[in-house]
Amino acid sequence: MRKKIIAANWKMHMTQSESEAFLTTFLREIEDNDTVEVVIVPPFTSIPKVSELLTQTQNIKVGAQNMYWERSGAFTGEISPAMLRELFVRYVVLGHSERRAIFGETDEIVNRKVHAAYEEVLRPIVCVGETLGQREKGDVEKVLSTQLRGSLANVGAKELHETVIAYEPVWAIGTGKTASAAEAQKAHAFIRKTLAELTDEATADKVRIQYGGSVKPDNAHELLTQPDIDGALVGGASLDPRSFAQIVKAGAPNG
Ligand code: 13P
């Protein structure tokens, strides 16, 4: 049984004080239970505050939105895996479509970061997904296969087990358009098949695959009950503590 993993990608939102206000409400709404794993992914500057406020919780972890692959050095403006680790960060989102489109990240760059994450015992959340043009051309599987094979090059079964994949169709991000549950399930099943080709079926069966792209309280249940959808990576709706709490509750076995 794969435990659902629901993550709040705050993107470039939430100062430290806003993060504190969010958590005060969110922790009241949600009980720290062990049926769903929750990850809060703040901007770097709010990570220390969020980590401090979550020290007592078991199933709410802290993630980062990006990092560089080197341990230290003359890389102005970058943050290293070791720096994140010291702030009790457990997960790191890598290859988000905004990083790929706005900051020019390639599969090769994502792959370097993925390996750097394992070295520092951080669990990568590797994002893949097609644009609208690629979907209309019938290229969804080709794009997903290329991104997975490139981003996960030389990743073994043991490491893949520690990895989360996020399927985020670019056309569904921040647009209010969601992939239908059937479309999302189809892509997730294809991703799992590709992971099995990269390692083996038993490993692929254990990897959690999140859906991301306009997940809201009213569509979360349908998406999260698909057989290969093991969680959600939530942008806009994760900025409101009550909405995000509702999405987390939709991920519980009886949600
Ligand atoms: P939205 O939920 O705002 O569509 O963003 C999805 C996303 O990019 C999460 O990483």
> Considering the domain boundaries, does residue 191 fall inside one?
yes
> Considering the domain boundaries, does residue 99 fall inside one?
yes
pLDDT at 136 over 80: yes
> Considering the domain boundaries, does residue 64 fall inside one?
yes
In this predicted model, which residue has the larger pLDDT, 106 or 178? 106
Q: Which atom of ligand 1 is nearest to the CA of 176?
A: 4
> Considering the domain boundaries, does residue 245 fall inside one?
yes
Q: Which atom of ligand 1 is nearest to the CA of 214?
A: 4
Q: How does residue 32 score in pLDDT terms, banded at 50, 70 and 90?
A: low
> Considering the domain boundaries, does residue 213 fall inside one?
yes
Residue from 234, 243, 244 to probe ligand 1 pocket by mutation (most atoms less than 8 Å from CB): 234
Q: How many domains does the chain have?
A: 1
Pocket of ligand 1 (CB under 6 A): 9, 96, 168, 173-174, 212-215, 233-237
Q: How does residue 176 score in pLDDT terms, banded at 50, 70 and 90?
A: confident
Point out the least confidently predicted range of 12-21, 95-104, 111-120, 175-184: 175-184
Which protein residue has the closest C-alpha to ligand 1 atom 1? Answer: 235
Q: How does residue 236 score in pLDDT terms, banded at 50, 70 and 90?
A: very high
> Considering the domain boundaries, does residue 255 fall inside one?
no
Instruction: Report the CATH number at residue 157.
Output: 3.20.20.70
Marked catalytic residue, from 98, 105, 159, 168: 168
> Considering the domain boundaries, does residue 156 fall inside one?
yes
**Mean pLDDT calculated for residue range 109-118:** 98
Q: How does residue 253 score in pLDDT terms, banded at 50, 70 and 90?
A: confident
Q: Which atom of ligand 1 is nearest to the CA of 213?
A: 4
Domain that holds residue 170: 5-250
Q: How does residue 223 score in pLDDT terms, banded at 50, 70 and 90?
A: very high
**Mean pLDDT calculated for residue range 167-194:** 94
> Considering the domain boundaries, does residue 90 fall inside one?
yes
Marked catalytic residue, from 37, 96, 105, 188: 96
Give Cβ neighbours of residue 7 (< 8 Å, ≥ 6 apart). 38, 39, 40, 41, 63, 91, 93, 125, 166, 210, 231, 232, 233, 234, 238
pLDDT at 33 over 90: no
Mean pLDDT (the chain) is 96
* Residue 99: per-residue pLDDT: 98
174 C-alpha to ligand 1 centroid (Å) = 6
* Residue 177: per-residue pLDDT: 83
Q: How does DSSP assign 22-90, residue by residue? A: HHHHHHHHS---SSEEEEEE--GGGHHHHHHHTTT-SSEEEEES---SSSSSS-TT---HHHHHHTT--
Q: Catalytic annotation on 168?
A: yes
In this predicted model, which residue has the larger pLDDT, 57 or 129? 129
